[in-house]
Amino acid sequence: MDSVSSTTETVVDGDTTTVTTERVVYRDKVINTRQDALERIREVRAWFQQTEPGNPIILLLRYAEEAAGKNFLQLSKLFPADMLAVLDINKDMS
């Protein structure tokens, strides 16, 4: 994983605002195992936590990490019942 940073300066009414953005670039990373996939989910969640800390996808990605490898009974302890019902309905649509 490589990071690429860029800095932008803006001057408005004599005030200078500096904004630094960082992009994560993946090279030659292939998902071959469940562990590789979970690591990628953790990396994506970390990106959202850093750049968009209020985004609800952070919680969904955390649930995805916890749900990996669990059966339906185990998931019933992790997720609210109404969410499980939606997941079960969507399973039939895929």
Q: What is the pLDDT of residues 23-80, one digit of tens each?
A: 666 566 789 999 999 999 999 999 999 999 999 999 999 989 999 999 888 888 877 7
Measure Cα distances from 23 to 14, 42, 49, 82, 91 in Å. Answer: 29, 16, 14, 37, 34
Structural domain range at position 14: 2-93
Instruction: State the total domains in the chain.
Output: 1
Cβ pair 62, 46 in contact under 8 A: no
Q: How confident is the model at residue 94 (pLDDT cuts 50, 70, 90)?
A: low
